[in-house]
Amino acid sequence: MSLIGTLADIKIADVLRLFATGKKSGVLTISDGPSNAVVRFEKGMIVHAMAGRLRGEEALLDLFGWRSGQLNFVPEERSVTPNIVKDVDALILEGLRIGETLHKRRMLIPTDAVVFQLGRGPEDEAFRYAVGPKEWRVLRLLDGVADVKEVIETTELAREEVHEILFDLNTARLVERVEVRLGLKVVAQGMLGKGAAEIDERIDGDWRKVHRFANGVLRVEVRTGGGKAAPLSVTFKAGLKRDVYLPRNVIADLGLSEGDEVQVRPIA
């Protein structure tokens, strides 16, 4: 493996051009902490790319938004099933044009479980933003509860279209991302449980920062990794940390065991 350098010192476009001109075959890896990407070359052509959950052209374009990361290259002649068909020059042009924006969008919306609410608005009094029918269909749903998946399903707009609208609205400070969905560990309540979920009071404080829940949360949704969900009333107590205490009948209904992790979000 040969170290090429870092993205702080060399641009990804220059690396791609260099390998294309030299008709290199092998594997380029980019590592930036927990983030990793792999780009495969065959005789100077980019034939395969992946970066986290991204694959193909989408993964390659995302790299144009990375500002740090160590680059290494391993010469290799092994063939792989291609997931990229465009030539290098076209990919570089596209990356320089939209890559940074795409990367920022994916950093803002890494999954469709992200939740938004109305933001504080632009600071410039002269700022104006044109809200068309599609933007309004998205904007009216951003209540601090509905996640991006629900917005897509309700508006019936394409996923990428909703992501683009949310990114533009966020850039304009008209909406902001809020962290309401939490991964908590299941603990069974005692035999005298009251039928309500019990959660640490510090989480209640965090949820109150969401406009919708400024006066407190009364009900939550508990969702398993398998997609089963149950709405429950909730009480908040000190010292529960990252545990959620659930009634035993709810644990049984959801097919859970103590120690399992569930996603919990406020709904009312």
Q: Which domain CATH number covers 169?
A: 1.10.10.10
199-231 in b/e form (b: 16+ CB < 10 A) is bbeebbeebeebebbeeebeebbbbbeeeeebe
90 or 191, greater pLDDT: 90
Q: What pLDDT band is residue 192 in, cutting at 50, 70 and 90?
A: low
Do both 135 and 174 map to the same domain? yes
Do both 101 and 128 map to the same domain? no
Res 77: pLDDT: 82
Last residue of a domain, one of 108, 141, 157: 108
Mean pLDDT of 91-108: 95
Bridge partners for 186 per DSSP: 244
Please tell me what DSSP assigns to residue 219: E
Q: What pLDDT band is residue 183 in, cutting at 50, 70 and 90?
A: very high
Asked whether the predicted pLDDT for residue 268 surpasses 60, the reply is: yes
Res 195: pLDDT: 83
Do both 13 and 95 map to the same domain? yes
How much of the chain is in helix, strand and coil states, percent to nearest 5? Answer: 30, 30, 35
Q: What pLDDT band is residue 128 in, cutting at 50, 70 and 90?
A: confident
* Domain of residue 225, residue span: 182-266
Do both 120 and 91 map to the same domain? no
Res 193: pLDDT: 63
pTM: 0.79
Last residue of a domain, one of 154, 178, 202: 178
Asked whether the predicted pLDDT for residue 237 surpasses 60, the reply is: yes
Mean pLDDT of 54-76: 94
Mean pLDDT of 210-225: 94
